[in-house]
Chains A and B, each alone.
Chain A
């Protein structure tokens, strides 16, 4: 993760958010990924989303595992605490961080190798705990750092740069999330920032585990003909079914929508997501229907994108546990130690 610091020049006309910060305050060092890498577009979307959410960068913890995608936290939110964990183990770091400090915004960035192979167990269990975090998978179907091996998300029939054809069925994180009771399940494409930014914002405000699987082409190893994770393929087969318009708590909903096509979802902090149908056949709000829809359309090669499922009513890790509202790391020691008398009383039991 070689880092080249970006020169900090702020144009006086640059827009400022409610904290008086510009987008430059949400950026990181220069990316060292390949020119044209989908991951860099996702980085830009993250910068914009956090800027627009008026969240202080140091209130965010950005975490990743190992791989090209996991390098990206160096390229955004330079004033946030970062944690570059071992391969595939970022979800457990996030679990511990959340257990200790529930006041922190958690953003995990992972890849298809990190989350669907070596870390598939931790990914599933973080989902299952409904850990309060945003979890972005920068999905390119290939191992970049080790030069082009198929990952577990590679589609059957997809051809590697060296000509090998993948014959094993892919693991689809969206289907996994739906099956495991995921409470916020989205798919997007790195080339569609208009779709991605509101998804990230809604994911941050969602109370629970927000999975955003982002198709993010690898220009070096997986952007050729016969790859199903290339820019050309993604543009041709991208099938947005449902858009999510994110509305801040104090904001008014301005646009007019046809009734029946829009489902407003009120998030934990009072902000809202307006789920807007793009495909009339898609039924909003049903886990079973979503699974069915995805299965049918993906069989036809379509890449179904949008905020595919959201359920704000499920308890997160702390609600299940019944933890006190104060972050545990801030509870004073006096409240934690039972004291000498309690120890003496307790030992009567051991005589």
Chain B
């Protein structure tokens, strides 16, 4: 129908049996974040009925299965409550017990179609696509939709004032989840080795990579694979496999989540010091510890930035939606090989597992991977001697060689103290020479990583707002809502760590900076303070960390309150 939508699945950490919710954001403006309001609720689960009822915004609509009587105490006057006898209708119409249960879900779709003026042709087409290999199911599903549609049409005034009007705003857009998009990015980047240990919410990334590889990387005649996926025994091994592969010149990656990243710490520090490329996708979930595996947070920022002991820091990338998961996945491989260091892509459950509407993914056929400074056999033949950690070009990035290429290229990869020739050392001067060059490389990294995206307010703004990742949708919507009331805020969306000059300038330009993030301890704010050396009192946190994707209300309310206190200069 051409209407922008995005869906969010709220589900508990179990296999089956517990209640789940699916929230669909529908709006003409194309906002993808949560609005914080519920206009239409379909309450299908008696166990959560009271809660579902309470969540409907005043003036909203609740649709429930009226087959059985409701507890009369559970009523509200400020919303419209519509009962549809879904179970009864399905029991009367369908024979098998299983069909009767399953078809309730399609019957309410029919009721919604009548109430919200949804185009039935579109629904029918989707049913046909979904069950194209099972003709019998198409019939029963369409019958169930008809039951609901008919009941609603006969019993209620259809359509409701809250209804869906066709638009033409989805052309050039797709619905995709971030893990699928990131996996596609890995395929297009030319990754050949994937290692992983299953962990929610990152598992679907490797599942998707496998699916794409089956399709694009398998010889149709011989069945030979141009990829190797290893399901490791744990995350310690998964990152080890990535390092072993990248040491040998393959593009290799591992998807994981917080607990897995914790286990990878030792090897991540090794890779930082021995200067090996690696790409890690951390699809963040709620911590600390096991936390809430099926809920979202941005709480691994600090642990990813400084993963491992000793003076260690890592390049981080922050995609804000699936499209950026695709693009930044490719950049992650380029940066990891250019900089010879791990790059951690910090996605989260909201981006990774939910369907987002975003612009079509595009591919530039001119793209070629940046393999960084790798000496070929010919180049090695032509030089006197190869020294692994010498800063030949002055950018802090040394040259590397791959095993098996040329006798002159042999060197020892080690996590123990080494000098710039790659030899073991315990000499203070030699040791410092190498770690100081790593600092120089870090400055080079700051020039190479994706720049932040700065959105200026219509008028000159003294307030600035900084956010990362999946907060993007909520922040944009919040700023749009605030602008008419005169609250002007510039917005800087950080896309990488190290932050680079643009972020430092943004902070300098504003009297007051609000930092929006989805964790308790204001980790991004801490990192900004550490890296930019700015006064902590200039940065103010807006935090949402309960495990549900951030909605725009928390941003709107904080800024409104600050404005009311006259803090806007």
Q: Which residues of A contact B (CB under 8 A)?
A: 1-3, 56-59, 61, 73-74, 78-86, 89, 91-101, 103-104, 121-122, 124-125, 129, 317-318, 321-325, 327-331, 333, 335-340, 342-344, 346-347, 350-351
- Is residue B250 within 8 Å, beta carbon to beta carbon, of the partner chain? yes
Cβ–Cβ contact A92 & B236, under 8 A? yes
Cβ–Cβ contact A331 & B415, under 8 A? no
Cβ–Cβ contact A92 & B240, under 8 A? yes
Q: Contacts of B369 on A, CB cut-off 8 Å?
A: 333
Interface residues of B in 211-246 (CB under 8 A from A): 212, 216-217, 219, 223-230, 232-234, 236-246
Cβ–Cβ contact B233 & A122, under 8 A? yes
Closest to A83 in B: B413
- Is residue B192 within 8 Å, beta carbon to beta carbon, of the partner chain? yes
Closest to A84 in B: B414
Cβ–Cβ contact B368 & A96, under 8 A? no
Cβ–Cβ contact A96 & B216, under 8 A? no
Bound-state Cα–Cα, A30 to B410, Å = 18
Q: Contacts of A122 on B, CB cut-off 8 Å?
A: 233, 236-237, 240
Cβ–Cβ contact B192 & A100, under 8 A? yes
- Is residue B207 within 8 Å, beta carbon to beta carbon, of the partner chain? no
CB-contact partner of A340 in B174, B267, B365, B423, under 8 A: B365
Could you give 23 example pairs across A and B, Cβ below 8 Å? Answer: A58-B403, A83-B244, A84-B416, A89-B236, A92-B239, A93-B247, A96-B240, A96-B242, A99-B244, A100-B192, A100-B228, A100-B249, A100-B250, A101-B402, A103-B404, A125-B233, A318-B228, A323-B228, A324-B224, A328-B250, A342-B216, A343-B363, A347-B174
A82-B228 in contact given A92-B237, A96-B240, A100-B250 (Cβ < 8 Å): no
Cβ–Cβ contact B188 & A337, under 8 A? yes
Bound-state Cα–Cα, A339 to B187, Å = 10
- Is residue B255 within 8 Å, beta carbon to beta carbon, of the partner chain? no
- Is residue B407 within 8 Å, beta carbon to beta carbon, of the partner chain? yes
Q: Which of B223, B239, B363 has the most CB of A within 10 A?
A: B363
**Chain B interface bracket (under 10, 10 to 19, 20 to 34, 35 or more):** 35 or more
Starting from the known contacts A81-B410, A101-B402, 19 additional A-B residue pairs (CB-CB under 8 Å) come to: A1-B416, A58-B406, A81-B401, A83-B414, A84-B412, A86-B270, A86-B415, A92-B236, A100-B192, A103-B404, A122-B240, A125-B232, A317-B230, A321-B228, A322-B225, A328-B250, A329-B402, A333-B190, A343-B188
Cβ–Cβ contact A58 & B414, under 8 A? no
Closest to B368 in A: A333
- Is residue B349 within 8 Å, beta carbon to beta carbon, of the partner chain? no
Closest to A89 in B: B240
Cβ–Cβ contact B225 & A99, under 8 A? no
Closest to B402 in A: A329
Q: Contacts of B33 on A, CB cut-off 8 Å?
A: none
A95-B237 in contact given A2-B424, A328-B228 (Cβ < 8 Å): yes
CB-contact partner of B228 in A93, A99, A335, A339, under 8 A: A99
Q: Contacts of B174 on A, CB cut-off 8 Å?
A: 347, 350-351
Cβ–Cβ contact B226 & A1, under 8 A? no
Q: Contacts of B233 on A, CB cut-off 8 Å?
A: 121-122, 124-125
Cβ–Cβ contact B250 & A101, under 8 A? yes
Bound-state Cα–Cα, A343 to B330, Å = 14
- Min CB gap B358→A, angstroms: 10
A78-B270 in contact given A89-B236, A329-B250 (Cβ < 8 Å): no
A101-B249 in contact given A1-B416, A58-B404, A59-B404 (Cβ < 8 Å): yes
Cβ–Cβ contact A81 & B404, under 8 A? yes
Bound-state Cα–Cα, A92 to B216, Å = 27
- Is residue B395 within 8 Å, beta carbon to beta carbon, of the partner chain? no
Cβ–Cβ contact A101 & B192, under 8 A? no
Q: Which of B170, B424, B426 has the most CB of A within 10 A?
A: B424
- Is residue B252 within 8 Å, beta carbon to beta carbon, of the partner chain? yes
Q: Contacts of A84 on B, CB cut-off 8 Å?
A: 412-416
- Min CB gap B238→A, angstroms: 8
Closest to A93 in B: B244
Cβ–Cβ contact A96 & B193, under 8 A? yes
Closest to B244 in A: A96
Q: Which 4 A-B pairs have the closest CB atoms?
A: A96-B244, A92-B240, A100-B250, A81-B403
Cβ–Cβ contact A93 & B240, under 8 A? yes
Bound-state Cα–Cα, A193 to B123, Å = 77
- Is residue B266 within 8 Å, beta carbon to beta carbon, of the partner chain? yes
Is the contact region of chain A dominated by helix, strand, or loop, or is it mixed?
Answer: helix
Q: Contacts of B267 on A, CB cut-off 8 Å?
A: 86, 89
Bound-state Cα–Cα, A129 to B237, Å = 13
Closest to A61 in B: B403
CB-contact partner of A93 in B230, B243, B401, under 8 A: B243
- Min CB gap B252→A, angstroms: 6
Q: Which of B190, B224, B250 has the most CB of A within 10 A?
A: B250
Closest to B269 in A: A86
- Min CB gap B192→A, angstroms: 4
- Min CB gap A124→B, angstroms: 8
Bound-state Cα–Cα, A56 to B408, Å = 12
Cβ–Cβ contact B240 & A328, under 8 A? no
- Min CB gap B485→A, angstroms: 37
Interface residues of B in 156-188 (CB under 8 A from A): 170, 173-176, 184, 187-188
- Is residue B248 within 8 Å, beta carbon to beta carbon, of the partner chain? yes
Bound-state Cα–Cα, A322 to B214, Å = 12
- Min CB gap A287→B, angstroms: 23
- Is residue B361 within 8 Å, beta carbon to beta carbon, of the partner chain? yes
Cβ–Cβ contact B407 & A121, under 8 A? no
Bound-state Cα–Cα, A325 to B228, Å = 12
Closest to B405 in A: A58
Cβ–Cβ contact A96 & B243, under 8 A? yes
Closest to B413 in A: A83
- Min CB gap A264→B, angstroms: 31
Bound-state Cα–Cα, A317 to B241, Å = 13
Bound-state Cα–Cα, A74 to B409, Å = 15
- Is residue B360 within 8 Å, beta carbon to beta carbon, of the partner chain? yes
CB-contact partner of B188 in A2, A57, A338, under 8 A: A338
Bound-state Cα–Cα, A50 to B385, Å = 24
Bound-state Cα–Cα, A84 to B274, Å = 10
Bound-state Cα–Cα, A71 to B188, Å = 40
CB-contact partner of B225 in A1, A57, A101, A324, under 8 A: A324
- Min CB gap A78→B, angstroms: 7
Bound-state Cα–Cα, A124 to B234, Å = 12
Q: Contacts of B336 on A, CB cut-off 8 Å?
A: none
- Is residue B195 within 8 Å, beta carbon to beta carbon, of the partner chain? yes
- Min CB gap B376→A, angstroms: 12
Q: Contacts of B431 on A, CB cut-off 8 Å?
A: none
Cβ–Cβ contact B240 & A95, under 8 A? yes
CB-contact partner of B407 in A56, A318, A330, A351, under 8 A: A56
Bound-state Cα–Cα, A265 to B242, Å = 35
Closest to B364 in A: A340
- Is residue B94 within 8 Å, beta carbon to beta carbon, of the partner chain? no
Closest to A338 in B: B216
Cβ–Cβ contact B230 & A99, under 8 A? yes
Q: Which of A2, A81, A340 has the most CB of B within 10 A?
A: A81
Bound-state Cα–Cα, A73 to B224, Å = 35
Q: Contacts of A73 on B, CB cut-off 8 Å?
A: 412
Bound-state Cα–Cα, A317 to B193, Å = 13
Bound-state Cα–Cα, A97 to B176, Å = 33
- Is residue B151 within 8 Å, beta carbon to beta carbon, of the partner chain? no
